[in-house]
Amino acid sequence: MKPKVVVYKKVDKKVLEFLQNTLDVTYFEDLDPQTYPIFREKLKTAEGILGAGLKVDKGLLDQAPHLKIVCNTSVGYDNLDLAAMTERKVMATNTPGVLNDTVADAIFGLLLSTARRIPELDHQVKIGQWGTIPDEEWYGVDVHHKVLGIVGMGGIGADIAKRAHYGFDMKILYHNRSHNKEAEQKYQATYCSLEELLQQSDFVCLMTPLTPETEKMFGKREFALMKKTAIFINGSRGKTVDEQALIQALQTGEILAAGLDVFVQEPVQKDNPLLNMNNVVTLPHIGSATNETRIKMAMLAAENLVAGLRGETPPNLLG
Ligand code: 8YV
């Protein structure tokens, strides 16, 4: 009998077929109030789960007594309680590497859009304001030759540094748990304390994973340390930032602008003050979302799932 698994996020047909070759797959394109009760029922017999964002904690593990492996179709795994999973010998995997370039492209897009006010100006042109507003009011700030501070210099951070170095002649500062020799050698990135980075950077790009240590890593103090002309980019998780402090820093002019792919609550609440600010550019947590990359991520997660249930060590085993 094939092991039973649950896929709870939409995956490409090829990925689904690959899984179905060796596994008994229950497939949900997404979980919503209608599908969730069926999903919970399926958990009772599932040996594996594949998808992104589902909170896997003690409560869920209690409902899934046969579970052996949880495969995230994401590099981040803040949705997984690894300690609880290890205790029950449930494996966890993620999808590092395959999304680095795609996320770096998106983050750079966000950075350029915020600095040059692209979404705001696009809107002005489309509502017929071209010619009615003095040009200077539409000016942005330069990106090239500026100082980019990257907080969290993993694979994605390094690919952002690569673009900044080769494409925009930027000076790169970074702060990370450990030194990234490759980024230092290839992109002339300089390691520094968080304080120094905040004080010296024109653009501060937050890319760190969400962990108990990085939760609300950016608050009142961090925004106060930044230049008044600084632009803040968040491509990590919403909860790495104290959102109220960010709102205040933007409202009081403590920083110039922000480009945000992530929010404390997702989808973002309609009444979030960040949505009413012209100096904030938003994206719906879409850094890795291109067709090509999402297929690669889902396939990698699927390979992890198949390997894990075959009794092999999954290629991206966490913990
Ligand atoms: C999405 C990400 O969260 O990989 C991550 O950690 O943040 C993104 O790729 C993920 O794919 C779920 O949509």
What digits encode the pLDDT tens for the residues 184-206? 999 999 999 999 999 999 999 99
Is the C-beta atom of 283 inside 6 A of ligand 1? no
Same domain, 222 and 75: no
Strand intervals (E) in 10-145: 24-27, 48-51, 69-72, 91-93
Same domain, 36 and 145: no
Same domain, 215 and 258: yes
Residues 61-84 have a mean pLDDT of 98
pTM equals 0.96
What pLDDT is recorded for position 281?
98
Residues 175-188 have a mean pLDDT of 97
- The range of the structural domain enclosing residue 42 comes to 4-98+292-309
What pLDDT is recorded for position 240?
98
Is the pLDDT at 83 greater than 90, yes or no?
Answer: yes
Is the pLDDT at 168 greater than 90, yes or no?
Answer: yes
Q: pLDDT above 70 covers what percent of the chain?
A: 100
Is the pLDDT at 3 greater than 90, yes or no?
Answer: yes
Do 60 and 31 touch, CB atoms closer than 8 A?
Answer: no
If you measure from the C-alpha of residue 77 to the centroid of ligand 1, how many angstroms do you get, rounded to a whole number?
9
Q: For the chain, how many helices (H) and strands (E)?
A: 13, 12
Q: Report if residue 63 sits inside a domain.
A: yes
Same domain, 137 and 55: no
Cross-strand pairs, 50 = 7, 71
Same domain, 92 and 105: no
Same domain, 16 and 132: no
Mean pLDDT rounded to a whole number for the chain: 97
Q: Report if residue 276 sits inside a domain.
A: yes
- Take residue 199 and report the two structure tokens written for it: 């004080």
Same domain, 218 and 266: yes
Q: Report if residue 83 sits inside a domain.
A: yes
Is the C-beta atom of 236 inside 6 A of ligand 1? no
Q: Nearest C-alpha to atom 4 of ligand 1 is from which residue?
A: 74
Q: Report if residue 319 sits inside a domain.
A: no
* DSSP 3-state of 225: helix
Do 300 and 288 touch, CB atoms closer than 8 A?
Answer: no
Annotation says 266 is catalytic: yes
What pLDDT is recorded for position 58?
98
With cut-offs at 50, 70 and 90, classify the pLDDT of residue 319. confident
Residues 28-48 have a mean pLDDT of 96
Q: Nearest C-alpha to atom 12 of ligand 1 is from which residue?
A: 52
What pLDDT is recorded for position 128?
96
Report the length, in residues, of the chain: 319
Q: Nearest C-alpha to atom 1 of ligand 1 is from which residue?
A: 74
Q: Given ligand 1 and candidates 75, 102, 291, which is best to mutate, with the most ligand atoms within 8 Å of its CB?
A: 75
Ligand 1, residue 297: give the atom nearest the CA: 11
Annotation says 163 is catalytic: no
The string of pLDDT tens digits covering residues 222-246 is: 999 999 999 999 999 999 999 999 9
Same domain, 233 and 208: yes
Same domain, 92 and 210: no
Is the C-beta atom of 53 inside 6 A of ligand 1? yes
Which of 132-141, 145-154, 295-304 is predicted least confidently? 132-141
Same domain, 163 and 275: yes
Q: Report if residue 316 sits inside a domain.
A: no
Annotation says 285 is catalytic: yes
Same domain, 168 and 221: yes
Four-point Cα dihedral 93, 97, 102, 107, nearest 10: 90
Distance from CA of residue 314 to its chain's centroid?
A: 23
Same domain, 65 and 139: no
Q: From the candidates 195, 215, 266, 312, give the one annotated as an active-site residue.
A: 266
Q: Report if residue 44 sits inside a domain.
A: yes
* DSSP 3-state of 166: helix
The string of pLDDT tens digits covering residues 90-136 is: 999 999 999 999 999 999 999 999 999 999 999 999 999 999 988 89
What pLDDT is recorded for position 52?
97
What pLDDT is recorded for position 133?
85
CATH number for the domain including 21?
A: 3.40.50.720
Q: Report if residue 49 sits inside a domain.
A: yes
Domains in the chain, number: 2
If you measure from the C-alpha of residue 285 to the centroid of ligand 1, how many angstroms do you get, rounded to a whole number?
7
Residue 139 and residue 125: Cα distance in Å, rounded? 14
Is the pLDDT at 266 greater than 90, yes or no?
Answer: yes
Residues 267-282 have a mean pLDDT of 97
Q: Nearest C-alpha to atom 11 of ligand 1 is from which residue?
A: 74
